[in-house]
């Protein structure tokens, strides 16, 4: 599948004087991003429409819903290992946050202060915390939140100092460094200046979407006179990346801005600037258990490679040694033990300039071979014995790799590619031919709905014995040294995988809930799958559940005792089935989208989810408007409606969070057993014109010792 974002990197023509404002520079991008701009506009529209529909829906009188917390950003987005810091998490419905859960060890959190739209926490990052993303969520009595990323780094980290929107106000920085910053307001531009020596080479890696931020940002490198040296956007789908060798010593500037000019306090980013090393690819992308292989690492600034390490997971069994290294290539020797667990490993390399980013490497159990070029032309096809894993590369534009093999009558084969899943830029496409060159089948994407994985897969039943061939290429005929793939050709192996329908399951205190599990069956398995929940606390009981023969789903009924406190427990679900007379166990998993608001996102695979015990909400709030226009010196009114539980009569005090300076609201209460109140906002003459998108109305009601807090959908204030 072609991505909507096809534009990789735009180099602008030089010729801007230092007086040219960066806003102008970034706007001068002819023909740029038409598609993504429209899709963003659509997203915004859909967002507004969906908010409207929530508000206009007429709810049954008793339909009071639990709204779980939603987190939209953390700032700063990361820290160096061994540090302690305070961070702010923004979101909705965060009042009464009881806990911050990190999925991996290494980062511990302590709650400092909670409001409805933000939570302040103190983090402690262990000196040996794994470098890379650490996923976390919040828990409140209304459930657990979505996942976000806190990234542990190995460089010194700093924070931007606003205002930094002009050349004169640029924040002075020194590489290597990781800068934490935000595109907090519309038209925000963040500028940094740094001195470089002649011949120095630096990597500028901007992490926004890959950090789960919704921001879609552009990065421009300029020289001291304001000429654009390099411009990047959408290198890693949404995130920019620049690698540059400076011929001339001097002062240079970096300018960062959102592509559509729209800022948001949630659009946080990290900009890492370092003199390498940077890994672009590894080849081959995997090896068989028990094999020894020489691997080539491609990238930048790899000279002086000393240590190679397997990140996280057990590295016993993967023995790695650096053999040689030059500027853009390093070779390593890998010995894979026979009993090393199958699956994906992350490999990083160390040079005196620091650690590289990790690349993925897969350990498999089938015999492996490497493609031998030329294998494009008729008569030059590479013959392979089956089953096989072929490690190949689409090493230049237009390269097609073709493999010939023999098939028995009535044989079934699976042709499966792993490329993008392992970090390759390749968008694989497979075509199957008979001996006369007639096309029998083709596939572009195994899962056309997965935007982040465009790997191809084919399964075919051969009626006639004979010679056949398979061609693999890039869908858009692109290629290069980093375009590696692993193509597996094998017999079907019946199997299944299980998935959760949510990574935020809940059960009401004293009530019931369900865990819905979906099975994906393949290659001939249609047997029964028995489900079991692991890690359940005493107060929650689960009934047994079975995904019946041939069926795809089952729900596990849960029951929670009364009188227990609202909290969350990490659980797993295991499915047991019999395959070829052997008992097989599979954990349920889920590909979780990690994102605040906005178009950018990343994903992560989880097999453990927090099961939350929730407390029922007593009321919900709704507002008659999603957009509230206000003119300076003027006022605006809107109605807030409460939906109450039958027995809930208490008065609800309305509090407004995040009003811009100069805008005030009168104290309002929805009276005892009443359902409406009118909120009136007043703007002074001095209020700053603009769009304020995070204003929220919070209702508070005291019931004995407990304070009930509920939030209305947030509104956008437009001040003219």
Q: Give min distance, CB of 67 to Ca ion, in A.
A: 30
Q: Give min distance, CB of 660 to Ca ion, in A.
A: 17
Q: Which residue is nearest to Ca ion (CB)?
A: 454
Q: Give min distance, CB of 118 to Ca ion, in A.
A: 18
Among residues 575, 309, 285, 524, the alpha carbon closest in space to that of 425 is found at 285
DSSP 240-269: -EEEEE-SS-EEEEEEEEETTS---TT-EE
Q: Give min distance, CB of 2 to Ca ion, in A.
A: 9
Cβ atoms of residues 570 and 533 within 8 Å = no
E runs forming strands in 275-342: 278-283, 286-288, 292-300, 307-311, 318-325, 329-336
Q: Give min distance, CB of 657 to Ca ion, in A.
A: 22
HSE (CB half, 13 Å, CA atoms) of 581? 0
| DSSP label of 648 | -
* 87-95, 331-339, 393-401, 555-563 -> range binding Ca ion (CB under 5 A): 393-401
Q: Give min distance, CB of 673 to Ca ion, in A.
A: 47
Cβ closest to Ca ion, residue 183 vs residue 709: 183
- Residue with tokens 């572009």, as numbered in its chain: 444
Cβ closest to Ca ion, residue 457 vs residue 632: 457
* 29-37, 116-124, 356-364, 399-407 -> range binding Ca ion (CB under 5 A): 399-407
Cβ closest to Ca ion, residue 390 vs residue 573: 390
The Cα angle at residue 493 between residues 487 and 494, in degrees rounded to 5: 135
Q: Give min distance, CB of 492 to Ca ion, in A.
A: 21
d(CA 116, CA 655): 10
**Which value, to the nearest 10 degrees, does the dihedral of the CA atoms of residues 67, 68, 71, 72 take?**
-30
Cβ closest to Ca ion, residue 432 vs residue 506: 432
Cβ closest to Ca ion, residue 164 vs residue 180: 164
Q: Is 427 in the site for Ca ion (CB under 5 A)?
A: yes
Q: Give min distance, CB of 689 to Ca ion, in A.
A: 18
Site string for Ca ion, 434-463 (x = CB under 5 A): ----------xx--------x-x-------
Q: Give min distance, CB of 472 to Ca ion, in A.
A: 8
Q: Give min distance, CB of 244 to Ca ion, in A.
A: 22
Give the count of beta carbons closer than 10 Å to the beta carbon of residue 366: 13
* 80-88, 395-403, 636-644, 695-703 -> range binding Ca ion (CB under 5 A): 395-403
Site string for Ca ion, 171-200 (x = CB under 5 A): ----------x------x-x----------
Q: Give min distance, CB of 48 to Ca ion, in A.
A: 25
**Token pair of 301 as six digits:** 């600034």
3-state SS, residue 53 = helix
CA distances from 479 to 280, 329, 428 (A): 14, 18, 11
Q: Is 401 in the site for Ca ion (CB under 5 A)?
A: yes
d(CA 375, CA 1): 25
Q: Which of 72, 164, 325, 351 binds Ca ion (CB under 5 A)?
A: 164
3-state SS, residue 26 = helix
For 228, counting Cβ atoms within 10 Å of its Cβ (0-12 exposed, 13-18 middle, 19+ buried), the class is buried
Cβ closest to Ca ion, residue 51 vs residue 456: 456
* 396-404, 692-700, 701-709, 711-719 -> range binding Ca ion (CB under 5 A): 396-404
E runs forming strands in 371-427: 382-383, 388-393, 401-407, 411-418
Site string for Ca ion, 112-151 (x = CB under 5 A): ----------------------------------------
**Token pair of 302 as six digits:** 């790899």
- The maximal CA–CA distance of the chain, rounded, in angstroms, is 86
Site string for Ca ion, 665-694 (x = CB under 5 A): ------------------------------
Contacts of 27 (CB under 8 A, 6+ apart): none
Cβ closest to Ca ion, residue 188 vs residue 416: 188
- Residue with tokens 């910053």, as numbered in its chain: 181
Cβ closest to Ca ion, residue 400 vs residue 579: 400
Instruction: Kindly state the number of chain residues that form the binding site for Ca ion, as judged by CB under 5 A.
Output: 13
Cβ atoms of residues 663 and 719 within 8 Å = yes
Q: Give min distance, CB of 694 to Ca ion, in A.
A: 16
3-state SS, residue 79 = strand
Q: Is 264 in the site for Ca ion (CB under 5 A)?
A: no
Cβ closest to Ca ion, residue 165 vs residue 710: 165
| DSSP label of 236 | B
Cβ atoms of residues 191 and 164 within 8 Å = yes
Cβ closest to Ca ion, residue 188 vs residue 482: 188
Contacts of 504 (CB under 8 A, 6+ apart): 68, 143, 144, 145, 146, 609, 610, 612
Cβ closest to Ca ion, residue 445 vs residue 708: 445
Q: Which of 71, 92, 146, 165 binds Ca ion (CB under 5 A)?
A: 165
Cβ closest to Ca ion, residue 22 vs residue 280: 22
List residues binding Ca ion (CB under 5 A): 164-165, 181, 188, 190, 399, 401, 427-428, 444-445, 454, 456
């Amino acid at each position: 599948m072609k991505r909507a974002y096809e534009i990789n990197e735009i180099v602008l023509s030089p010729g801007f004087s230092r007086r040219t404002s960066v806003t102008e520079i970034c706007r001068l991008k002819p023909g740029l991003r038409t598609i993504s701009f429209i899709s963003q506009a659509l997203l915004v529209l859909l967002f507004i429409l969906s908010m409207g529909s929530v508000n206009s829906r007429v709810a049954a009188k008793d339909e009071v819903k639990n709204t779980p917390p939603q987190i939209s950003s953390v700032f700063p987005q990361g820290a160096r290992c061994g540090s302690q810091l305070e961070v702010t998490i923004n979101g909705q419905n965060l009042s009464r946050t009881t806990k911050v859960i990190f999925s991996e060890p290494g980062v511990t959190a302590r709650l400092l202060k909670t409001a409805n739209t933000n939570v302040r926490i103190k983090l402690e990052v262990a000196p040996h915390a794994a470098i890379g993303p650490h996923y976390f969520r919040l828990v409140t009595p209304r459930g657990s939140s979505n996942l976000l990323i806190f990234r542990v780094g190995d460089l010194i980290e700093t924070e931007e100092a606003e205002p930094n929107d002009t050349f004169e106000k640029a924040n002075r920085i020194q590489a290597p460094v990781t800068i934490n910053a935000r595109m907090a307001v519309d038209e925000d531009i963040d500028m940094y200046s740094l001195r470089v020596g002649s011949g120095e080479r630096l990597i500028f890696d901007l992490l926004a979407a890959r950090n789960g931020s919704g921001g879609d940002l552009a990065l421009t490198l300029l020289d001291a006179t304001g000429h654009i040296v390099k411009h990047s956007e959408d290198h890693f789908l949404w995130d920019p990346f620049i690698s540059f060798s400076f011929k001339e010593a001097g002062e240079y500037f970096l300018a960062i801005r959102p592509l559509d000019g729209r800022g948001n306090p949630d659009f946080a980013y990290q900009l890492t600037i370092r003199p390498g090393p940077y890994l672009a690819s590894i080849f081959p992308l995997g090896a068989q258990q028990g094999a020894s292989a020489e691997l080539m690492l491609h990238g930048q600034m790899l000279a002086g490679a000393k240590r190679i390490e397997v990140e996280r997971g057990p590295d016993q069994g993967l023995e790695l040694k650096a053999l040689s290294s030059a500027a853009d290539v390093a070779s390593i020797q890998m010995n894979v033990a026979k009993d090393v667990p199958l699956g994906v490993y992350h490999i990083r390399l160390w040079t005196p300039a620091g650690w590289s980013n990790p690349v993925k490497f897969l350990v498999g159990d089938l015999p492996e071979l490497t493609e031998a070029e030329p294998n494009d032309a008729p008569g030059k096809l590479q013959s392979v014995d089956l089953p096989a894993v072929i490690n190949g590369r689409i090493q230049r534009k237009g390269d097609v790799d073709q493999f010939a093999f023999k098939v028995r009558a009535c044989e079934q084969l699976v042709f499966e590619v792993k490329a993008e899943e392992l970090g390759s830029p390749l968008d694989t496409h497979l075509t199957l031919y008979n001996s006369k060159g007639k096309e029998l089948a083709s596939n572009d994407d195994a899962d056309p709905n997965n935007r982040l994985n465009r790997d191809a897969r084919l399964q075919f039943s051969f009626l006639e014995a004979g010679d056949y061939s398979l061609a693999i290429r890039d869908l858009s005929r692109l290629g290069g040294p980093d375009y590696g793939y692993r193509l597996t050709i094998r017999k079907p192996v019946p199997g299944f995988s299980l998935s959760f329908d949510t990574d935020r399951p809940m059960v009401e205190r004293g009530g019931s809930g369900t865990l819905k599990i979906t099975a994906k069956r393949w290659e001939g398995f249609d047997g029964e799958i028995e489900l079991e929940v692991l890690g359940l606390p005493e107060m929650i009981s689960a009934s047994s559940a079975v995904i019946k023969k041939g069926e795809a789903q089952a729900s596990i009924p849960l029951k929670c005792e009364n009188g227990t406190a609202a909290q969350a427990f990490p659980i797993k679900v295991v499915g047991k089935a019999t395959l070829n007379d052997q008992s097989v166990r599979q954990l349920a998993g889920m590909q979780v989208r990690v994102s605040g608001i906005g178009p950018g996102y990343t994903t992560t695979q989880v097999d453990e989810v927090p099961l939350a015990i929730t407390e029922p909400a007593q009321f919900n709030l709704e507002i008659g408007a999603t957009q509230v226009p206000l003119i300076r010196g003027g006022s605006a009114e809107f109605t807030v409606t409460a939906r109450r539980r039958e027995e809930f009569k208490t008065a609800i005090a309305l509090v407004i969070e995040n009003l811009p300076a100069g805008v005030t609201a009168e104290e309002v209460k929805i009276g005892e057993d009443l359902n409406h109140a009118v909120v009136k906002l007043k703007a002074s003459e001095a209020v700053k014109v603009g769009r304020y998108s995070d204003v929220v109305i919070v209702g508070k009601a005291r019931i004995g010792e407990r304070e009930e807090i509920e939030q209305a959908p947030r509104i956008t204030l437009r001040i003219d």
